Amino acid sequence: MFYPTVQSFPTVMSFSSPSPNNTSLSSSNFFLDYVLENCFNNTVGLYIFTTFTIGSTLLLVPLCLFVFFVGHRQSRQQGPGWKMSHSDVFTYHAVAVELISVFGSTVLCCGIHAYLPGMIMFGGIFYSLNIPGQMVFHCLTGFERYLAVVHPITYRSLRTAKGMRIRDLTVCCAWLFSFAWAVAVTLINKLIFAITAFCVTVVFFLVISFCSLSVLCILTRPGPGKQGGKRQVDQSKMRAFYTILAILGLLMFRFGGNMISITLYAAIKILERGLCEMMLSVTWFLLPSRLVLPLLFLHRAGKLLCCKSKDGLG
């Protein structure tokens, strides 16, 4: 298979300008152009991204479609008066982000191989939705779990019509944030974007870590009327404890991978070649965490044969 060279690879920004000065990506100050210039102009970089696109498509698309199928069947069985839980709503939107991201990744990969700048721009924007979208919806599900365990009275008050309006407004803001991030990939100076993305990632990581650790602390406390040293083990609490611990570990991989990727991107400017392959390889760290919300939804719905249980995780 033939891969484009630095001289022949088309710049994304040349889609809007036919100037011969735009035939190279070397002078671009935009994040997407800069990554394409440094990472996809060699065989290894293209191979890593292509295999990641194929793997994520085969793994995520069937899972996400099955989540929508199960959710649709549940809504039909429960009837028109059934109110969907907040966690299920967040999961549906996270799954939608995944499908859009996989679509964008496929378009981007095809555009790179076909030397089509317009397709690269289009696919890059939609592929970029994954990082902000998943960060937001993971934080929202973590915060909902935090309210359910640590502040149950407040959580019950949010299950009213007013709480659902707040949830819907929050979801709209999450989508606006995700699209703003995706557009910023192509319009904002690369260093400004890298610094901003790193700071935002750290904030989301701290929020979800606080929520998860708070829930874990509550689950390890003795129940009412039980002594700390001789309390019986509550099996449902232990299952919830280990599940949340596993989720936190996977999300640490995700946020850690995001921060490593951004750091390597900034280092590319100084050290040039060699780090791009590492940055693209880090994307594989994000894949396990992309399965968390769909698998939790299927677990609550009793569709996972390996761990069917009546105890759901909110």
Residue 241 — pLDDT band, cuts 50, 70, 90? Answer: confident
Highest mean pLDDT among 89-93, 151-155, 212-216, 269-273: 89-93
Averaged pLDDT, 241-251: 75
Q: What is the mean pLDDT of the chain?
A: 76
Q: What is the pTM of this model?
A: 0.79
**Domain residue ranges of the chain, discontinuous segments joined by +:** 12-223+231-298
Tell me what the mean pLDDT of segment 229-255 comes to.
68
pLDDT reading at 212 higher than 50: yes
Measure the CA–CA gap between 300 and 128, rounded to whole angstroms: 29
What's the average model confidence in pLDDT over 278-294?
79
Q: What is the DSSP letter of 23?
A: S
- CATH class in words for 12-223+231-298: mainly alpha
On the question of pLDDT at 93 being above 90, the answer is yes
Give the mean pLDDT of 133-153.
Answer: 90
Residue type, 189: N
Q: What pLDDT is attached to residue 116?
A: 85
Rounded to 5 degrees, φ, ψ at 306 are -75, -20
Give the sign of the dihedral formed by CA 9, CA 196, CA 250, CA 84: negative
For the chain, give me the number of helices (H) and strands (E)?
Answer: 11, 0
pLDDT of residue 235: 65
Residue 6: pLDDT band by 50, 70, 90 thresholds?
very low
